[in-house]
Amino acid sequence: MGFGKHLLNGIVSVAISVGATVAMADNDTYDLGELTLAVAVSAFLSGFFTSYFAGE
């Protein structure tokens, strides 16, 4: 698997995770921008490295 495939898996993870977070967020208790940034970084790294280390 090439680098592009790992990058794509990271981007897909970001889209799913941020979409779910924004859809379920309650804006009264925290800053939604900071929350989505944290979720995006975490999701990208998770998707990218899972693909990288599990890929054959």
Residue with tokens 């998770």: 46
In the prediction, which pLDDT does 50 show? 94
Question: Looking at residue 1, what is its pLDDT?
Answer: 63
With beta carbons less than 8 A apart as the criterion, state whether 16 and 39 touch: no
pLDDT, residue 20, reads 96
Place of tokens 């940034």: 37
pTM: 0.86
Q: What is the pLDDT of residue 2?
A: 86
pLDDT tens sequence for the chain (56 residues)? 689 999 999 999 999 999 999 999 887 788 889 999 999 999 999 999 999 999 65
